[in-house]
C-alpha cells in the first residue's frame, strides 16, 4: 500500500544505547493499529486519500448518529480519532477495512511527526520570543519589557508580524527528519530519536519524511 502515514499516541521518553555505545534520547510512540474508514478517489473527489481511524475503545453513546452511520457503512467500530492521509499513487488498491500497522516503518529511516504543542498560556516577550531584556543593575527599571516597537518618522506604524507578548503554545507543530531507532511490531511501538510535540498521551500523526537528510 502507498499509505505512508499512521496515527498514534505519544507515550513518553526513554534512553536507548546504540551499537557503538552512545546513549540517545528517544520518544516512545504507540503507532496504530489503524483502519481505513474511507477511501477518496481522484475521479470522484478530485484527489486520492484515505481516512485513517486509530483503533481505540469508545462508548457508543458518545458517537452521534451521523458518525455512527459513517462507521456502519465502513463496517468498522467507532473510533475517537480520524485523520485523512493523501495517497500519491492513484493506482493504489487500498480499500475500506484495510489495516495500517507500524511494520511499514523500519529502523534507520526518517519520519515527520505532527502534533499539538503544549499550551503555555499568556507569556511575555522574554519567554515567547527570547528577548534579551534590559540591565538588571544600576537602578534600571527596564528588565523584561518589550522596548520600542517602531519609529515615529518611518514607517510611522508598527511593522506587521511584530513580536509581542501573547498566547504561547497549543498550535500544530511538525518535528521533521526524526530517525526511527526501533520498531516493535508486537506491541505497536515506534521509538524515534529526539522529542516530538505535545504532552504524554497526546495524539500524533507519523509520516515518512518528505525531505530526508
Helix (H) or strand (E) holding 69: helix 65-74
Which of the four pLDDT bands, split at 50, 70 and 90, describes residue 197?
very high
Architecture in CATH for domain 5-118+172-208: Beta Barrel (2.40)
Q: What is the DSSP letter of 110?
A: E
Position of cell 507515550?
A: 11
3-class DSSP assignment, residue 155: coil
DSSP state string for 72-126: HHHT----S-EEEEE-S-TT----TT-EE-GGG--TT-EEEEEEEPPEEEEE-HH
Is the confidence at residue 91, as pLDDT, over 70?
no
- 95/92 Cα distance (integer angstroms): 9
Is the confidence at residue 90, as pLDDT, over 60?
no
pLDDT value of residue 89 = 62
- 198/117 Cα distance (integer angstroms): 4
First to last CA, the chain: 24
Is the confidence at residue 98, as pLDDT, over 60?
yes
Q: What is the DSSP letter of 198?
A: S
Which of the four pLDDT bands, split at 50, 70 and 90, describes residue 28?
very high
pTM for the whole thing?
0.81
Phi and psi at residue 164, to the nearest 5°: -130, 165
Greatest extent of the chain over all pairs of C-alpha atoms, in Å = 73
What is the residue extent of each domain of the chain? Answer: 5-118+172-208, 120-169
Phi and psi at residue 65, to the nearest 5°: -65, -40
Q: What is the DSSP letter of 130?
A: -
Is the confidence at residue 100, as pLDDT, over 80?
yes
36-59 b/e (C-beta count within 10 Å ≥ 16 → b)? bbbbeeeeeeeebbbbbbbbbeee
pLDDT digit string, tens, across residues 122-167: 999 999 999 888 888 888 888 888 888 877 888 888 888 889 999 9
Amino acid at each position: 500500500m502507498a499509505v505512508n502515514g499512521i496515527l498514534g499516541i505519544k507515550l513518553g521518553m526513554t534512553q536507548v544505547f546504540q551499537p557503538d555505545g552512545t546513549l540517545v534520547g528517544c520518544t516512545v510512540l504507540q503507532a496504530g493499529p489503524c483502519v481505513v474508514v474511507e477511501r477518496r478517489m481522484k475521479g470522484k473527489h478530485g484527489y486520492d486519500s484515505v481516512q485513517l481511524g486509530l483503533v481505540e475503545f469508545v462508548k457508543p453513546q458518545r458517537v452521534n448518529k451521523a458518525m455512527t452511520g459513517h462507521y456502519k457503512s465502513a463496517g468498522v467500530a467507532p473510533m475517537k480519532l480520524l485523520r485523512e492521509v493523501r495517497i500519491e499513487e492513484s493506482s493504489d488498491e487500498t480499500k475500506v477495512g484495510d489495516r495500517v500497522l507500524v511494520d511499514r516503518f523500519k529502523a534507520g529511516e526518517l519520519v515527520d511527526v505532527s502534533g499539538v504543542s503544549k499550551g503555555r498560556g499568556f507569556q511575555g516577550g522574554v519567554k515567547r520570543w527570547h528577548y534579551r531584556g534590559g540591565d538588571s543593575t544600576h537602578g534600571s527599571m527596564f528588565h523584561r519589557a518589550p522596548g520600542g516597537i517602531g519609529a515615529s518618522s518611518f514607517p510611522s506604524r508598527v511593522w506587521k508580524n511584530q513580536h509581542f507578548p501573547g498566547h504561547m503554545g497549543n498550535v500544530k507543530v511538525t518535528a521533521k527528519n526524526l530517525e526511527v531507532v526501533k520498531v516493535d511490531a508486537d506491541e505497536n511501538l515506534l521509538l524515534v530519536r529526539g522529542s516530538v510535540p505535545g504532552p504524554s498521551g497526546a495524539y500524533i500523526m507519523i509520516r515518512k519524511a518528505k525531505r530526508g537528510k
